[in-house]
Structure 1
Amino acid sequence: MIFVTVGTHEQSFNRLIQCIDELKLENVISENIVIQTGFSTYVPLNCEWKKIFSYKEMKEMVHDARIIITHGGPSSFIMPLQVGKIPIVVPRQKQFDEHVNDHQLEFAKEVEKRQGNIIVIEGIEQLQNKILNYDQIVMEMPKGIKSHNKKFNNELEKLVEEIFTVALK
């Protein structure tokens, strides 16, 4: 199953939903597709869909899906990372009136560059290839979220020890 979420932003994301619906219609994608359409106005004809899913339903969809395709909102693409899945991220873009600016695109590209654990789609024409080659693409990518907590805690511990050492002298 492929799960697509466009979040709850008040502007539509018809570009992504229509692309997915057409890929299903053309049988480019043969597996089941479920779309959370949010405030989009395009109504999918070839996929299961619902405007809004509860948090519990979202977690279930992410858990059950082979591929998760999200907009560029961090909450939407972090959830798959938390369960070790690599999301395909299609950021909303200002030029298509999907958001007020291009912060989703800029942020997603930076996460992709720094973490290497999301697949960012800037041009919708790239989406078909990424879906069809998803398993091969993610095979060599890091899964989940890279955490620097251990390094931070070790550095903090050293700093505290130095402070106490100096204070006790």
Structure 2
Amino acid sequence: MIFVTVGTHEQPFNRLIEYIDSMKRDGMIEEEVVIQTGYSTYEPKYCTWQKLYPFQQMAKFVDEARIIITHGGPSSFIMPLQVGKIPIVVPRQKKYDEHVNDHQVEFTQEVAKRMGTIISVVDVDKLGDVIKNFDEIVEDMHGGSSSNNKKFCEELEMIVNDMFKEKRK
């Protein structure tokens, strides 16, 4: 199963949801897909979906899913990391009116580069290849899925602090 969550940000993330739905329609994804669509306006036709799921249900989906795809909000991609899974993270982008700026792009690229615990996919057109090769990508990642939660949180805090220092200059 593939679980997709776009969080609870009030701007739609139709671009990701439509792309996943079209991949399911076209047979590029054969397994079950469950999507938490949040405030998106597109309603998937080929995937199971709901606007919002209770936390316990989200946790169950994350636990059961082979692949978790999230937007770039830390709360969404930390949950899979806490259970030892590597999420695919597709950051929202300002140019598509998915967020107020591109902080998710910058943040997820830094986390992927510095920590190697997420797969950041900025160009949604590359998502199909990442899904297709997911198992090999995860196998090749130096961080693996056995990351230490405390170390992860400490390093994440350093990244956030560094980013804010750079913004103040």
TM range (shorter): 0.7 to 0.9
- SS in structure 1 opposite 2:140? coil
1:145 shift after superposition? 4.0
Structure 2 stretches lacking a partner, 5+ long = 155-169
> Which residue in the other structure is 1:124 paired with?
124
Q: Is the 8 A contact 1:86 1:144 kept in 2?
A: no
Q: Secondary structure at the match of 1:75?
A: helix
- Report the counterpart of residue 21 of structure 1 in structure 2: 21
Partner of 2:151: 148
Match of 2:36 in 1: 36
- The number of aligned residues is 150
For the residues of structure 2 that align with 1:99 and 1:81, how far apart are their CA atoms? 24
CA distance in 1, matches of 2:17, 2:151: 35
1:55-94 CA distances to partner (integer Å, 9 max, x unpaired)? Answer: 1011000000000000000010010001110000000000
* Shift >3 Å, 4+ stretches: 144-149
Structure 1 unpaired stretches of 5+: 152-169
1:74 maps to: 74
Q: Note the C-alpha offset of 1:19.
A: 0.1
Match in the other structure for 2:166 = none
Residues 107, 144 of structure 1: alpha-carbon distance in 2 compared, 3 angstrom cutoff: farther
Q: Give the TM-score, by structure 1 length.
A: 0.86
Q: Which of these two proteins has the greater Rg computed from alpha carbons?
A: 1
TM-score by length of 2: 0.86
Shift of 1:144: 4.7
CA distance in 1, matches of 2:83, 2:140: 17
Q: Is the 8 A contact 1:117 1:144 kept in 2?
A: no
1:56 matched residue in structure 2: 56
1:9-54: per-residue Cα shift (whole Å, max 9, x none)? 0000000000000000000000000000000000100000000011
What RMSD in Å do the two structures reach over aligned CA positions? 1.4
**Which residue identity lines up with residue 124 of structure 1 in the other structure?**
V
Partner in structure 1 of residue 6 of structure 2: 6
Structure 1 residues 139-148 or 83-92, which shifts more? 139-148
Distance 1:145 1:93 in 2: 28
